[in-house]
Amino acid sequence: MLETRAVWLAYGEDGAWAVEDATLAVRPGEDLCLVGRNGSGKSTLLSALNGGLAPRRGGVVVDGATVGAGRSSRLGAAWAVGLVSQDPESRILGSTVGEDVAFGPRNLGLAPEEVARRVAWALGSVGLADRAAQPCSELSGGQAQRLALASALAMEPPYLALDEVGGELDEGARAGVRALLGKGPLASCGRVRATHDVLDVASATSVAVMAGGRVTWQGSPWDFFCDLDLVAEAGMGGSVPAAWARDLVLSGLPLSLLADPAALARALGPAAAGGIGWCPSAAGPGTAPVDGAGLVLDGVSVTAPSGPVLAGLSLAVPRGAVTLVAGVSGSGKTTAARVAAGLLGPDSGSATLDGAPVRAGAVGIAFQRPEDQTLADSVLTDAMMGPSLPPCDPAGARGRAAAALAAVGLDESLWDRPTWCLSGGQRRRAALAAVVARPSGAYILDEPTVGLDGPGRAAVHAVARSLADGGAAVCVVSHDVGEWLPVADRLALVAGGRTVWEGPAAQGPSSGAFEAAGVRLPLELAVAREAGLL
Ligand SMILES: Nc1ncnc2c1ncn2[C@@H]1O[C@H](COP(=O)(O)OP(=O)(O)OP(=O)(O)O)[C@@H](O)[C@H]1O
Ligand SMILES: [Mg+2]
């Protein structure tokens, strides 16, 4: 059994408590989901499970042995508890994908054949079997996340601590990870997963809610979804899948139906259609004119050492509209975003803003990894950097920064903190605020809601909408298609380095475009289709 016994955790000598008095237990084969608002203490608690952060009080106990301060004991915990951290790229150790996965098993002193077997199994399990020789530096965010999971799996630990491992994955890949964890050798592994995803919670054996550093509730997923206040406390209030989970529980039906849209639509009946709240045919205008104003990529090709990344990709991001760009991991979205922002010169094709070649700095871009862009030593000074630079008036910088930080819902008590002393969701909000604080004609937000709780997501939707309503060209790259389609005017689906469909967002789900791009429909839309609404 993996246990935390009345654990208290803090960062730095005089830091405030990040986790207080947390007691949890996971037995082999159990799957505990840890939920809670951004900054509630989930990642902090997970990092203590494998000895990464030592408790100030209380203890972490693995199969009866307390994880102490001694090096050998901490190493033992690191082997017994495979931690996949929230920022997967921070953990990459090898130069190639295969080397990275082999690193841990080799350190265990395993025979080369056993190392090779584990590497092949782990990479195959996460869908990276054909990428063993690829340099890690060439991986997309979602691929890096799957690599981090493979590296943990290859250690074959009895316990896994997974920190938002589905965050940067597309819907299909998330379902794949959930299925993987519940079967084969992993079914007997004890798992603790921090997540903001309702479907993760629905597939768990138990749930723990954290708020303000404390575990405030523990119980079954059934009891969790029944209690509206609890779901709201966990930052999942107002979500359609959470409402359906509640409907299922109240009807005495299994939560596993959430993994099967056809069965869910049948089980919920007309209630399903009523619950969606957004129906493509009734969706926003989707009529923003594509007249060359805004960002335009035309026939863009980019080739990495291991092969083509973009193969003649064209895309229009008109002013006055939110354009959602979706596609499976590795389809080229982030590379396209870098070209559109003038940060990467294409091998052929062009990127223009309002008809002129795009200049680096002319487009506000929020990177997929917020860690890649926060520069100053506090949240507020970081957000003030953009609006302090010409042509902005530095006198207004503080006001603009404060307005942007408030708009993304970042609590004022955090504004003086260094950005590296924030939770994952808080850091993403800070990075987004720093981008939108600077006035610009175009913005690219790459996976802006990964790791955010429900209220944080709603705040970022509103920010994107208001930038577009103010006349900017807004491009949102996201796997969270279900949540962004109601916000977006336009949709572009990317596959294999090309745009396979582009048009009004409302027409996307019924166009066959998702199938063409290999993108799984989000649950809301899959149910809508089953209910005959698409
Ligand atoms: N390196 C750090 N130094 C100081 N404080 C930190 C550090 N990392 C996190 N914190 C603070 O500790 C508290 C708990 O953060 P933690 O990362 O555990 O939250 P979380 O529940 O994982 O949030 P999220 O959903 O955003 O990932 C927060 O108040 C956060 O600001
Ligand atoms: Mg976290």
pLDDT in tens, 292-346: 689 999 999 999 887 899 999 999 999 999 999 999 988 999 999 999 999 999 9
Instruction: Kindly state whether residue 141 falls inside one of the protein's structural domains.
Output: yes
* Nearest CA, atom 12, ligand 1: 18
Instruction: Kindly state whether residue 255 falls inside one of the protein's structural domains.
Output: no
Quick one: pLDDT at residue 201?
97
Instruction: Kindly state whether residue 204 falls inside one of the protein's structural domains.
Output: yes
Longest dimension (CA), the chain: 67
Tens of pLDDT, residues 174-197? 999 998 988 888 889 999 999 999
- Model confidence band, residue 146 (pLDDT cutoffs 50, 70, 90): very high
Ligand minimally distant from the alpha carbon of residue 44: 1
Range of the domain at 371: 287-530
Quick one: pLDDT at residue 32?
98
Share of the chain above pLDDT 90, in %: 69
Give the domain-ending residue among 236, 263, 279: 236
* Nearest CA, atom 27, ligand 1: 424
CB 317 within 8 A of CB 474: yes
SS3 content of the chain, % helix, strand, coil (to 5): 40, 25, 35
Instruction: Kindly state whether residue 59 falls inside one of the protein's structural domains.
Output: yes
Any atom of ligand 1 within 6 Å of the Cβ of 424: yes
Any atom of ligand 1 within 6 Å of the Cβ of 451: yes
Instruction: Kindly state whether residue 268 falls inside one of the protein's structural domains.
Output: no
User: In this model, does residue 288 exceed pLDDT 60?
Assistant: no
Any atom of ligand 1 within 6 Å of the Cβ of 426: yes
Q: How far is the CA of 63 from the centre of ligand 1 (A)?
A: 27
Q: Tell me: do 187 and 321 sit in the same domain.
A: no
Instruction: Kindly state whether residue 345 falls inside one of the protein's structural domains.
Output: yes
Any atom of ligand 1 within 6 Å of the Cβ of 41: yes
Any atom of ligand 1 within 6 Å of the Cβ of 423: yes
Q: Tell me: do 294 and 398 sit in the same domain.
A: yes
CATH number of the domain encompassing residue 176? 3.40.50.300
User: In this model, does residue 471 exceed pLDDT 80?
Assistant: yes
Residue 346's Cβ-count burial label (10 Å; 0-12, 13-18, 19+) is buried
CB 43 within 8 A of CB 85: yes
Q: Tell me: do 371 and 489 sit in the same domain.
A: yes
Contacts of 373 (CB under 8 A, 6+ apart): 366, 367, 431, 434, 435
Tens of pLDDT, residues 196-253? 999 999 999 999 999 999 999 999 999 999 999 999 999 999 888 999 999 999 999 9
Instruction: Kindly state whether residue 399 falls inside one of the protein's structural domains.
Output: yes
For the segment 142-166, the average pLDDT, to the nearest whole number, is: 93
For the segment 121-131, the average pLDDT, to the nearest whole number, is: 93
Q: How far is the CA of 422 from the centre of ligand 1 (A)?
A: 5
Q: How far is the CA of 232 from the centre of ligand 1 (A)?
A: 20
Any atom of ligand 1 within 6 Å of the Cβ of 39: yes
Any atom of ligand 1 within 6 Å of the Cβ of 18: yes
- Model confidence band, residue 68 (pLDDT cutoffs 50, 70, 90): low
Q: Tell me: do 319 and 188 sit in the same domain.
A: no
For the segment 268-291, the average pLDDT, to the nearest whole number, is: 56
Q: How far is the CA of 48 from the centre of ligand 1 (A)?
A: 13
- DSSP per residue, 12-59: STTPPEEEEEEEEEE-TT-EEEEEESTTSSHHHHHHHHTTSS--SEEE
Any atom of ligand 1 within 6 Å of the Cβ of 42: yes
Total structural domains within the chain: 2
- Minimum mean pLDDT among 61-65, 125-129, 368-372, 416-420: which range? 368-372
Q: Tell me: do 194 and 308 sit in the same domain.
A: no
Q: Tell me: do 324 and 415 sit in the same domain.
A: yes
Q: Tell me: do 451 and 315 sit in the same domain.
A: yes
Q: Tell me: do 321 and 202 sit in the same domain.
A: no
Instruction: Kindly state whether residue 269 falls inside one of the protein's structural domains.
Output: no
User: In this model, does residue 283 exceed pLDDT 50?
Assistant: no
Q: Tell me: do 318 and 210 sit in the same domain.
A: no
d(CA 401, CA 410): 11
Quick one: pLDDT at residue 271?
63
Q: How far is the CA of 347 from the centre of ligand 2 (A)?
A: 38
Tens of pLDDT, residues 395-452? 889 999 999 999 999 999 999 999 889 999 999 999 999 999 999 999 999 999 999 9
Ligand minimally distant from the alpha carbon of residue 235: 1
Nearest ligand 1 atom to the CA of 420 is: 1
